[in-house]
Structure formats: C-alpha cells, structure tokens
Amino acid sequence: MGEIKVLIVNSLIVFGIAFVINLILRKSINRLKRYNQSQGTDFTKLVFIRNSLGFVIFTIATVIVVNTVPALKTVGVSMLAGAGVLAAILGFASQAAFSNIISGVFIVLFKPFRIGDALELKDGSKGIVSEITFRHTVIKDYQNKRIIIPNSTMNNETIVNCTIEDTTIKKHIYFSVAYSTNLDAAIAIVRDEVGKHPSCIDIREPGTLEGHKVDVFVTEWAESSIVLRANAWATGNDNAFELSCDVLKSVKERFDEAGIEIPYPYRNVVLKR
C-alpha cells in the first residue's frame, strides 16, 4: 500500500512539473509570437512548436514515470515481449500518425505555406492557414469555417499559395455586351470604373504612362454576346473580391446610362407542321 502511495505521489510530481514547464514555455512562445507578429515577421515555426509542446513534454513525463517505477518497467517490458502481434498492429496503425508528424516538420522547414497564407486547394477550397500542428493543418475559409487536413495530405497536395512571395493578384472580371455595342465605348467605361476603384493598383513602371492601368480585352464571340475581360490588380484575395463585386455593380450602372445592352440569351424556335 505504501508503494502505491509513493507511485501516485511521484507520478503527480512528475506530471505537475511537466504541466508547469508546458505552461511557462507556451506563454513564452506566445509572447515571442506576438512580438514577431507586430514586426511583420514569420511566426509559423513558433506556432508549430507551441502546438507540439504538450505532446512532447507529457510523453517524456510518462517515460520518466514508467522508468522510475520498477513494477511498471517490468510490466511494460513483459507486455512488449509477449504482444508481438499487438505491437505489429499498433505499428501499422501508427504509420499514418508518424507520416503526419514528419510531414508537419517538412512543412515548417521548407515552408510551402505559412501561418496567414491564403491557399487554394485542388478541390477548389480557399482559405487562410490558421494553425499547423503535429497532426494536421487548419485552414479558415472565407465563410469562417475550419477545414482540417492531415499534414501528410497537405504535403502531397497541389496547392495554390496566393501570398508566399507576392500578395498582388490579377483579378479577371468578365462583362457581356450586345453585338450592336460600340466596343470602344464599353471598354472605356470598364477601364474607367475599374481604374478608379481604391483597391485597384497600378503595376506600370513608375514615371511611365505606357499602356493602361487596366487592360481590357475582347475575349469571345459568345452565342448571344461579346465578352470583355478586365485585368485588375489588387493586393490580397479580400481586396480583389471586393473590387470585382463593386465594379460589376458600377459598370452595370454606367452601361445603363450609356444605353449599352447586357443581352439575355436568345433562342430561335422553328415550328414545323
């Protein structure tokens, strides 16, 4: 009975120390993360280390408790020696877990994406990377939902990183006009409305007026309309999305004022007796 009490006390001391160490380190990392965030520097490694601390520290604490208690050590050795099949099953089952851990380390080291990067996945999902843990990556989409993806999947996924080096985005905005439209007038309206939006940036070389701030192209002779495409540059996905929405509204109003038709699909129906 006395040995059990000693075992319980020793275990509580070890895990208590582990808890305090984990708490102190997490608070220190959080302070360092906030400092890096205020300086505009990358803090992905700090978040990964913070998210991994608990697992590492309490695993070490468990190993210490088992190794310092002869009875537990003997039982552990006996179980490992007599449970070959179980060990094989657990080893096979843990392959995915180890794969996620190694993939997480590779992501942090080689940085195909970082905390705060805007990603687009192969299935069309889009969002901002909010967490990278030992097991998974968390992406917050634009509806404020969290997409949780195993690190091994992210490591093998084909992703589009919109902010890894350059945050500027070329947004394609499409407009349809009738075949009877004066295209030069329509292009001038589109160019004017897109160019004066506060989110539209000018990528031309400073001091030169060559070309236009906004390029507008005739891209298609569609079934019922001529399609125009404006190439608008903005900083970040959010600004590009807002730019597109605002311009679709303002161009529609300008087209109405100028008498430029946005056609409906036409169908010719032939009746035969």
Question: Which of 161, 193, 227 is the last residue before a domain boundary?
Answer: 161
Answer yes or no: do 140 and 197 share one domain.
no
Domain that holds residue 173: 168-258
Q: What Å distances lie between residue 40 and 94, 106, 114, 226, CA to CA? A: 38, 23, 13, 45
Query: How confident is residue 210, by pLDDT bands cut at 50, 70 and 90?
Result: low
Q: What is the percentage of the chain residues whose pLDDT exceeds 70? A: 83
Answer yes or no: do 42 and 142 share one domain.
yes
| CA 139-53-47 angle, 5° bins | 35
pTM given for the model: 0.60
Question: Which of 112, 139, 161 is the last residue before a domain boundary?
Answer: 161
Length of the chain: 273
Answer yes or no: do 135 and 14 share one domain.
yes
Check pLDDT > 90 for residue 167: no
Answer yes or no: do 148 and 184 share one domain.
no
Tens-place pLDDT, residues 85-108? 455 555 655 677 778 888 888 888
Answer yes or no: do 155 and 207 share one domain.
no
Query: How confident is residue 51, by pLDDT bands cut at 50, 70 and 90?
Result: confident
Answer yes or no: do 172 and 252 share one domain.
yes
In a domain, 26, yes or no: yes
Answer yes or no: do 82 and 192 share one domain.
no
Tens-place pLDDT, residues 125-157? 888 888 888 888 899 888 888 888 888 888 888
Buried b (16+ CB within 10 A) or exposed e, 255-268: beeeebeebeeeee
Answer yes or no: do 30 and 91 share one domain.
yes
How many domains does the chain fold into? 2
Answer yes or no: do 16 and 151 share one domain.
yes
Q: Which two tokens stand for residue 224?
A: 């019922």
Answer yes or no: do 131 and 36 share one domain.
yes
Question: Which of 121, 141, 161 is the last residue before a domain boundary?
Answer: 161
- Which pLDDT belongs to residue 228? 93
